[in-house]
Structure 1
Amino acid sequence: MTGPAEPIAPADRLPARIAALVGVLGVFAAVAAGHLVGGLVGGDASPFRAVANQVRDRSPDAVVEWAKQTLGTSDKFVAQLGVAVVLVLLGVLAGLLSRKVAWPGLTLAVVLGITGIVAVLQQRDVGQLGVLAPVAGLVAGASVFGWLHRLALARVENDTPAAGVSRRTFLKASGGTAAGAGIAVAAGQWLADSVDVEGSRASVGKLVAQVKAPPLPAGADFAADGTPTFLTANADFYRIDTAFVLPRITAQDWKLRIHGMVDKELTLSYADLRRFRLVERDVTLTCVSNEVGGDLISTARFVGVPIHEVLDLVGVRQGAQQLLSTSKDGWTCSTPVDVLQDPERMALLAIGMNGEPLPLEHGFPVRQVVPGLYGYVSATKWVVDWEFTTFSGHSAYWTDRGWSEQGPIKTESRIDTPKDGASVGAGKVTVAGIAWAQNTGIDKVEVRVDKGPWQQAELSTEVTDQAWRMWRVKFDVPPGTHTAAVRATDRDGYTQTEHHADPVPDGATGWHSVEFDAK
């Protein structure tokens, strides 16, 4: 008993499924060759990564924000998956357009290859050799497509294996192409990941600060009542960045170029940085995309070099307004110079986090930590370039997308317990959470239930005005559904506004509220 017969194509035309397979394998070969050569030359030379980066950079801000809020750190995987799906569809299209002759598919291969070359050339951390990766992808994709197309068409045009190419020969060629491309992708990834970052982290050794943060006082948090611990574990620290693949730099290879409006241009190595005094500070970092009540906020004990001491060394010229810092992956950040020069603020070139060298995902070997500014204007990870300039002279990644040039963190608060939608026992209910007003400090926190009178909460012991502060308060609630709301007042006398504003362009505002059931 036999299955349904394959539809017979005209003798001069490939069957649709064979044509589509040829197109997809051509695209796969192009991606694989580009990825392999990209692994050899380094950086974002892989055309697949470069195209994904361009999709990320050119996406509308509303789409980017939706992805961050909805997908979290999975947004990068989804974006790359989307690019992969589009490439597969283009491969299918190339094949279907080439059922009779190969030139339509070859033309599309050239267009895709040129797109990859342009995308790679726009990557900031790719040297001149980087163009070899997309060129290799173009050559491999076109060659494999043309070769498989000839084999497939030869089989169609000759009815017998003796006269033409057997079905088995074509399948072997297709399978071999797929296997070879898969091996090339794996090899390229292995080469890209072969930089021994963990070995470099281990070689850094213990980071001993000359200026230590004081021990955490008793009552620094109310974790037993549902608040976060005062210090966030590195594994739990929020992560927001634009890197599809985490930049891998060893401490031995790291350099920071300092140039622009300075008296003395300088390039610092990691060893040079270690000759400065190390300072230890407890600092809360906050993402500007943090919604009211959101979790894009964490606190760590950072160790690093005071940035104002580096600036004293190079001599920032009068008229310089911003530091344009660049990450190894090409992301740029614009930070006001006056904030960096403030010794009270004590911005850091951080090399340690919670008692260990920076984790890779948080910027190893060196990142910026600037208390009181949202991360998009301060917290450059994997930092490799500093240019001192004016705001009109250059703009940065997020300011190009409509975000504010200045990003001071706003006075805000959040309820951590009870959670929204939680069920609790009726009677005495503890409402607890966090508040922050960096560089100013929290003066008081007030909570109300069901729009009743505001009740002042107990504050945790203050550690520093550069970090969050916990609060808690008890309410006697009857059975039923209740709503709790919170507001904070800082030491300047400002009470956070009830008005809800979206994060764009300079951070969200509004009172956080939760609804819970008492039973």
Structure 2
Amino acid sequence: MSELKTKTRLLPIPLGALAGVLAAVAALAAGHLVAAFVGLNASPYLAVGNAAIDLTPLPVKTWAVDTFGTADKAVLLTGMALVMLLAACLAGVLSRRKPLAGQIIVGLFGVAGIAAVMSRPDLGQLAILAPFVSVLVGVVVFTWLHRILLPQTYAEPVEGTTRRKFLITGAGVAVGAGVAGLAGQSIGASKDAEGSRATVGRLVAARTAPPIPADADFAKFGTPRFLTVAPEKFYKIDTALVVPQVRIEDWSLKIHGMVDREITFSYSDIRNRPLVERVVTLTCVSNEVGGDLISTGKFIGVDLADLLNEAGVKPGAEQLFSTSVDGWTAGTPVPIVLDPNRGAMLAIGMNDEPLTVEHGFPARLVVPGLYGYVSATKWVTDLELTTWAGRQAYWLKRGWGQFGPIKTESRIDSPSGFAQVGTGPLRVSGIAWAQHTGIERVEVRLNQGPWQQAMLSAEVTKDAWRMWWLDVDVPKGTHQLFVRATDQTGYTQTEARADVVPDGATGWHSVSLDAR
């Protein structure tokens, strides 16, 4: 017996791994609950995810958007969950004799959470409580479960009563974590942005957009509808892991920096001003040639220039540095936002309704002719007039271009790539865009044949896309269709392919087809 007592009792690998997972789940749930009171982005899981997005190298970011599109954040969160699961299992396995290794791993995750929270520009000092409580709960729960499994040092296997006690306790930890996590989610959502949105009521413009004619699109030929009415079909690219929940009573817009007078507007200040309505096509700089990160909406709000002129923009101001409620930033050239012919807006509605929460409620920027990364700040809450040297916006720091003008481009929507078609006349259709310049013509070419001019839809505004169609005679065999657009300055889009980085893709879109 004395020889047995000198041997250290070992924790079974499956139970050790389970202890690590339960401790991790309890830690994350506790942190999420505390974050509901100090800022949802202080939740360690979300804070680390946001930090991962901010620290990811530009080529990896571009690859993620190209590969996963709007599901890139879901993929990130899933990947993080798997990494944490494996680390939690490892913590348990390395603690078969003593809990120290597991405690260190839990502590390292806590340090990462604290560092991530401290780096967030949208969180206050109290936000650090969330990762601190998270790591404390994780260490305590892991140590507690470990002691239940190893109450003393004997070489014989864990007894049945100890197993049962561990499983009962573990089940209690799991239930408690579930309750804490759900409570945190419920409290965090109690700001009820959707409920606040419902109180806005109908938005009526004093200056309405021109009516959209019946021939503004060729949907019956395969193009999109002119207006992207369904919010879920309007492209959405941003860095927010969790959609910010902002009530109109909590929202304000501060204009400051190089101005004669600092001004702060409430939502009612904006809502009660004469509203203007404009049709604008928004385009993401990450849109590949032929991509679908482009949509058109009817936006309603106020002229951004009017708000800035009330503050009095000082000479020398070069950029309008806008900040979202979640800390994201963009820089827009001042001459463009002050140009009365440009139509830059602070928008509070889209397609006859208040902005959806996902698309920036209560307010966002809309600047025709510029890619979204320099012009379309959602959940905007701060506008600073400054110089380019004075502040660097989110994407500018990461190597993207400074000004972001949208390039003249076109796309084939029908037929789709690698389609099998019949010989003879084939109807080809698609879209073209050159926001704030306007499309003059669109041409289509079969293989290396002559360019043929397509029929254009009615021009609603130079700030919106135009649809086109053309019947092409297709002989039997494998072929390639090309499209190019010419804008109203006379510029014809280049054949030369360019990547989306640093200021948008270029090149002719083409599709292959098989005629039988």
The TM tier, using the shorter chain, reads over 0.9
The 5-angstrom pairing of residues 66-215 of structure 1 reads 66-154=63-151, 157=154, 166-215=162-211
Counterpart residue identity of residue 93, structure 2: L
The total of aligned residue pairs comes to 510
Q: Secondary structure at the match of 2:214?
A: coil
- Say which of 459, 462, 465 aligns to 2:459: 462
- Say which of 474, 477, 493 aligns to 1:496: 493
Q: Secondary structure at the match of 2:206?
A: coil
**1:262 aligns to 2:271 (yes or no):** no
Counterpart residue identity of residue 100, structure 1: R
Report the CA distance between 1:160 and its aligned residue.
10
- Say which of 34, 50, 54 aligns to 1:53: 50
Report the CA distance between 1:491 and its aligned residue.
1.2
Counterpart residue identity of residue 351, structure 2: N
Contact in 2 for aligned 1:447/1:455 (Cα 8 Å):
yes
Report the CA distance between 1:213 and its aligned residue.
0.5
Report the CA distance between 1:103 and its aligned residue.
2.2
**1:309 aligns to 2:277 (yes or no):** no
1:224 corresponds in structure 2 to 220
Report the CA distance between 1:158 and its aligned residue.
8.8
Paired with 1:348 and 1:315, the residues of 2 have a C-alpha distance of 17
Q: Secondary structure at the match of 1:283?
A: strand
- Say which of 408, 428, 432 aligns to 2:429: 432
Report the CA distance between 1:15 and its aligned residue.
2.1
Contact in 2 for aligned 1:154/1:165 (Cα 8 Å):
no
Report the CA distance between 1:161 and its aligned residue.
9.3
The 5-angstrom pairing of residues 325-404 of structure 1 reads 325-404=322-401
1:3 corresponds in structure 2 to none
Q: Secondary structure at the match of 1:362?
A: coil
2:3 corresponds in structure 1 to none
Paired with 2:157 and 2:379, the residues of 1 have a C-alpha distance of 61
2:291 corresponds in structure 1 to 294
Paired with 1:97 and 1:418, the residues of 2 have a C-alpha distance of 57
Paired with 2:142 and 2:479, the residues of 1 have a C-alpha distance of 65
Contact in 2 for aligned 1:155/1:166 (Cα 8 Å):
no
Q: Structure 2, unaligned stretches of length 5 or more? A: 1-5
Contact in 2 for aligned 1:195/1:248 (Cα 8 Å):
yes
Contact in 2 for aligned 1:38/1:188 (Cα 8 Å):
yes
Contact in 1 for aligned 2:196/2:248 (Cα 8 Å):
yes
Paired with 1:216 and 1:10, the residues of 2 have a C-alpha distance of 83
Q: Secondary structure at the match of 2:321?
A: strand
CA deviations on 1:443-493 (whole Å, 9 max, x unpaired) are 111111121111111111111000111111111222222211111111111
- Identity of counterpart residues, as a percentage? 57
Report the CA distance between 1:109 and its aligned residue.
2.2
Report the CA distance between 1:49 and its aligned residue.
0.4
Paired with 1:436 and 1:447, the residues of 2 have a C-alpha distance of 15
- Say which of 391, 416, 420 aligns to 2:417: 420
Counterpart residue identity of residue 202, structure 1: A
Paired with 2:445 and 2:225, the residues of 1 have a C-alpha distance of 24
Of residues 77-86 and 374-383 in structure 1, the stretch that sits farther from structure 2 once superposed is 77-86
Paired with 1:160 and 1:473, the residues of 2 have a C-alpha distance of 78
Paired with 2:137 and 2:471, the residues of 1 have a C-alpha distance of 68
Of residues 112-121 and 284-293 in structure 1, the stretch that sits farther from structure 2 once superposed is 112-121
Paired with 1:356 and 1:424, the residues of 2 have a C-alpha distance of 41
**1:277 aligns to 2:274 (yes or no):** yes
Q: Structure 1, unaligned stretches of length 5 or more? A: 1-8
CA deviations on 1:116-156 (whole Å, 9 max, x unpaired) are 11111211221222111111101111111111111111166
Q: Normalised by the size of structure 1, how large is the TM-score?
A: 0.95
Of residues 66-75 and 99-108 in structure 1, the stretch that sits farther from structure 2 once superposed is 99-108
Report the CA distance between 1:518 and its aligned residue.
2.2
Counterpart residue identity of residue 186, structure 1: L
Contact in 2 for aligned 1:23/1:94 (Cα 8 Å):
yes
**1:242 aligns to 2:242 (yes or no):** no
- Say which of 484, 490, 500 aligns to 1:487: 484
Contact in 2 for aligned 1:292/1:508 (Cα 8 Å):
yes
Report the CA distance between 1:516 and its aligned residue.
1.4
Report the CA distance between 1:441 and its aligned residue.
1.0
Paired with 1:453 and 1:166, the residues of 2 have a C-alpha distance of 82
Contact in 2 for aligned 1:433/1:471 (Cα 8 Å):
yes
Contact in 2 for aligned 1:117/1:135 (Cα 8 Å):
yes
Report the CA distance between 1:283 and its aligned residue.
0.2
Paired with 1:453 and 1:159, the residues of 2 have a C-alpha distance of 85
Q: Normalised by the size of structure 2, how large is the TM-score?
A: 0.95
Q: Secondary structure at the match of 2:40?
A: coil
Contact in 1 for aligned 2:255/2:308 (Cα 8 Å):
no
Contact in 1 for aligned 2:418/2:512 (Cα 8 Å):
yes
Counterpart residue identity of residue 140, structure 2: S
Contact in 1 for aligned 2:149/2:158 (Cα 8 Å):
no
Counterpart residue identity of residue 166, structure 1: T
Report the CA distance between 1:56 and its aligned residue.
1.0
CA deviations on 1:308-341 (whole Å, 9 max, x unpaired) are 0000011111111111111122211111111100
Report the CA distance between 1:159 and its aligned residue.
6.2
Contact in 1 for aligned 2:330/2:374 (Cα 8 Å):
yes
